[in-house]
Amino acid sequence: MSLINQLIIRVPKWTVSWVLFAFDSIAGFLSMKYVFMDVLDSFQQPFWILFGITQCAWGTIFWFSNLYRGGPTVSRFSETENLVRITLILMIAGVFFLGINVNMGPITAPLMIRYWMYFTTITIVNRWIVRTLQKQLLRRGFGQHRALIIGTGHRAEYAAYSLINHEQKLFTVTGFIEAGKDARIHNNLPRPILGKEKELRTIIKKNPVSDVIIALDNMKHDRVMDLISVINGTPVSVKIVPDLYEVISGLARTEQITGLPLIDIDFKEGKWVGSGMKRAFDLAISLPILLGFLPIWAMIAVVIKINSKGPVFYNQERLGLNSEPFMIHKFRSMVHGAEDESGPIWALDDDPRITSMGRFIRRFRLDEIPQLFNVLKGEMSLIGPRPERPFFVEKLREEFPLYDRRFRMRPGITGWSQIKHPSDRDVEDVRQKLKYDFFYIENISFNLDMKILLSTLMVVLFGKGR
In whole angstroms, give the CA distance from residue 52 to residue 419.
Answer: 36
On the question of pLDDT at 41 being above 70, the answer is no
- The candidate with the shortest Cα–Cα distance to 86, out of 67, 104, 114, is 67
Give alpha helix (H) positions in 364-415.
371-376, 390-399
pLDDT of residue 179: 85
pLDDT at 432: 80
pTM of the model: 0.60
Among 35-44, 193-202, 289-298, 300-309, which stretch is predicted with the lowest mean pLDDT?
35-44
Amino acid present at 461: L
Residues contacting residue 132 through CB under 8 Å, at least 6 positions apart: 76
Instruction: Write out pLDDT tens, residues 225-258.
Output: 778 878 877 888 888 887 755 544 455 556 666 6
Q: Is residue 401 helix, strand or coil?
A: coil
Tell me the domain boundaries of the chain.
3-139, 145-265, 274-462
Nearest 5°: CA angle at 37, between 34 and 39? 140
Q: How many CA atoms lie within 13 A of 170 on its CB side?
A: 20
> What would the mean pLDDT of 25-43 be, rounded to a whole number?
80
The per-residue pLDDT for range 337-376, each reduced to its tens digit, is 877 666 666 666 677 888 999 999 988 889 999 999 999 9
Q: Quickly state the pLDDT bin for 8 (edges 50, 70, 90).
A: very low
Cα–Cα distance, 32 to 50 (Å, whole number): 9
Q: Under a CB-based contact definition with an 8 Å cutoff, are residues 170 and 257 in contact?
A: yes
Average pLDDT over residues 407-417: 91
In this predicted structure, the answer to whether residue 443 has a pLDDT above a threshold of 80 is no
CA angle 108, 110, 113 (to 5 degrees): 110
**Helix/strand/coil for 152:** coil
DSSP string, 90-145: HHHHHHHHHHTT---TT--HHHHHHHHHHHHHHHHHHHHHHHHHHHHHHHTTTT-E
Element (H, E) at 231: helix 221-231
Alpha-carbon distance of 353 to 359, in angstroms, equals 10
Give the integer Cα–Cα distance in Å for 91 and 114: 10
Identify the DSSP state of 422: -
Evaluate if residue 18 carries a pLDDT over 80. Answer: yes
- pLDDT value at 269 more than 60: no
Q: How far apart (Å, rounded) are the C-alpha atoms in residues 29 and 26?
A: 5
pLDDT band at 100 (very low <50, low <70, confident <90, very high): low
**CA gap 202, 147 in Å, rounded:** 15
- Kindly report the length of the chain: 466
The CA distance from 218 to 312, in Å, is: 52
Check residue 301 and give its pLDDT: 94
Q: What is the pLDDT of residue 167?
A: 67
Mean pLDDT calculated for residue range 171-180: 88
* Distance, first Cα to last Cα, the chain: 56
Rounded to an integer, the average pLDDT of 287-305 is: 90
Contacts of 355 (CB under 8 A, 6+ apart): 304, 307, 308, 333, 334, 335
pLDDT for position 232: 76
- Measured distance CA(357)–CA(304) in Å, rounded: 6
- Evaluate the CA torsion angle 359, 364, 365, 366 in order and state its sign: negative
Look at 149 and 460; give whichever has higher pLDDT: 149
pLDDT in tens, 109-132: 888 889 999 999 999 999 999 888
| pLDDT above 90 as % of the chain | 25
**Tens-digit pLDDT profile for residues 43-72:** 566 778 878 888 888 888 888 777 887 765
Greater model confidence, 25 or 221: 25
Mean pLDDT of 27-38: 85
Residues of the chain with pLDDT > 70, as a percent, come to 80
Higher pLDDT, 299 or 73: 299
The CATH number given to 145-265 is 3.40.50.720
For residues 450 and 86, the answer to whether their CB atoms sit within 8 Å is: yes
Whole-angstrom CA distances from 460 to 7, 32, 285, 453, 457 are 49, 32, 15, 10, 5
The closest alpha carbon to 333, from 306, 361, 301, 370, belongs to: 361
Those residues with Cβ within 8 angstroms of residue 423's Cβ, 6 or more apart along the chain or in another chain:
347, 429, 466
Task: Yes or no: say if 370 and 330 are a contact pair by the CB < 8 Å rule.
Answer: yes
Q: What is the mean pLDDT of the chain?
A: 81
**Who has greater pLDDT, 396 or 118?**
118
Torsion of CA 22, 23, 27, 30, to 10 degrees: 70
At a CB cut-off of 8 Å and minimum separation 6, what does 280 contact?
none
pLDDT at 466: 55
Q: Nearest CA to 76 among 12, 124, 27? A: 124
